[in-house]
Chains A and B, each alone.
Chain A
Amino acid sequence: MAKKKTFVEDIERTLYDIKDADNSVYKSESGLTEDIIRDISARKHDPEWMLEFRLKSLETYNKLSLPTWGPSLQDLDMDRIITYVQPDAKMTGNWKDVPEDIKDTFDRLGIPEAEQKSLGGVGAQYDSEVVYHSIQEDMVKQGVIYTDMETAIREHEDIVKEYFMKLVPPKDHKFAALHGAVWSGGSFVYVPAGVQVKMPLQSYFRLNAAGAGQFEHTLIIVEPGASLHFIEGCSAPKYNVTNLHAGCVELYVKEGARLRYSTIENWSRNMMNLNTKRALVEKDGIIEWVSGSFGSHVSCLYPCSILHGERAKCEFTGVTFASKGQDLDTGASVILTAPDTSANINTRTISKAGGKATYRSAVKVTENAKRAKCSVNCESLMLDNESRSDTLPVMDIEGDDADVGHEAKIGRISDEAVFYLTCRGIDEDEARAMIVRGFVEPIAKELPLEYAVEMNNLVNIELEGTMG
């Protein structure tokens, strides 16, 4: 094979970049006003309490200021963001009823195929609304609920009311308040006590409209002794204007329950990704996060786990890949508040071609968390001299018998390791690619299979001919 010399500046995004014509039936005006909120709420047929919630959130939004830390958000002009785009489609449980252009998009992304092969249920959101939702019959019989948030409010209003934005209150930060005001779409999952959901459920969020925002809300409740694997995927085609994603994920893991939450985010590089995710874990419960951040222009993403009951556990596994023009600020946060709780954070970040990848984490162990254990391992790899990597782990330990370990490494590809591999007949580019793949391997093996393959392709493409 001829040696490739071409510098591949961007990953192969053709698949994600195919834009559909904008066939939306309604778009809100850009910007954020009370009228716009009232209009969205009316179109969504919100109950009265939800309209009030939105308006109160808007008030909070206007009071709060932008965070003073983290990546610059100067490219974000809220007056130009269209917060609500209603696609020309009604939610359906049959792909045949999904408009052709929208269905084609999800076909390209492999969603219906994965649904048949390996998923127990699928949700597909296009711009601001969910256009498709399905769940296997036997799960329904076991009492599992998996639907879009709007249906959940209509059919399970009491549950939604009890949990909605209780874990991430709008006053938490400016973008949580924004989310509370303009949220639309997302997924609702309820797993009754003792039910083990055998096949993963997957929601896919696709933003097609230029200059728009996506504010889906994901609410998952796993009752005592139950278990679930939920997969979230996101992508968008690239535009020259800034798009905004400010979703919110609230996960309730009850006593002895187990939830694995996997995310692969591959937004286009005009996206500001300011997402908030939080889990509340009760006694003997386990939350496992698997998080892959590859896309977007700017990301701020630090899934938070509150280990609230005795022996509650958190496993966080994350990988971030920042290339040209990207400033990805990712990590995790864990709050250990009960005895014998434990957390493991394991992340890898890669930066290249001037990209900036920051690992940021906060671990708090309260005095009540006797014998708590927490280990943090964050490793960064910079592929060239123009790229940047930072690690900012913060620890706040109040208990005196907590067992806390932290290991951080920032490095480059070792010349000696490349020499070792080339001494075995492997050419230099492949040697470097192998080292990078090896670097992310502990994370890749945690990803759902099709995403692990995608990540491998991504690493290969990103590395082709760029070094040596």
Chain B
Amino acid sequence: MSNIHSAFENGKAFVAFITCGDPDLETTAAAVRAAAENGADLIELGIPFSDPTAEGPVIQGANLRALNGGITTDKIFDFVEELRTDVKIPMVFMTYANVVFSYGAEEFISTCQRVGIDGLILPDLPYEEKDEFQPLCSRYGVDLISLIAPTSENRIAMIAKEAEGFIYVVSSLGVTGTRSEIKTDLASIVKVIRENTSVPCAIGFGISTPEQAKKMADISDGAIVGSAIIKLLEKYGKDAPKYVGEYVKSMKDALR
């Protein structure tokens, strides 16, 4: 079992997503530290992929900027190892199945364990395909995070029963990105999850304001924010970390 459970032991969790290497790894490191110091409970580190089919325009842009800057999986592993000297909160990777597969699944997952990555979020690896990586994740103590969507319906119980780490509840149809309103009946989804597992669940996709985060966290165990943070990095570049810190503080304060 990984250390992810500790992220859910300080009240409602705030999960911050940051794309590695956008605009460069020094900035990513400073942004992660700013998020951690200002109350983030868990960090999702995005490993860029050339064709991120689950992402909206904002995170697609971050992927592209990072890849154009020469980021690679090897550089990201070295970066995480360095980050782990002082960042103690749980960290997971969010990337696509091909990034893990092409690196060599065992090499990738065992390196996750070595550098201190607690879990893996792979949006293109549904329940039916999780055997691709699940046995290796179990062997190396890396949690393979399950996603549940507004369309999951009859699948929620099946997915929840085998979930580990935390469950990523996708708030809305479509891709990542900020939304003015979230209409899905998430309370009903969370209810079915709770009936089937004690693993915590956090809601992501479309959350950008403290009010939204509080509303989502009230019905679950936490809120996940990506695009809103990436927009700060896009806007402020190397100066973004202090803005990320302020933003994370405002979000975590809303959850306290």
A binds B: no
> What is A's interface to B at a CB cutoff of 8 Å?
none
Q: Which B residues have a C-beta under 8 Å from some C-beta of A?
A: none
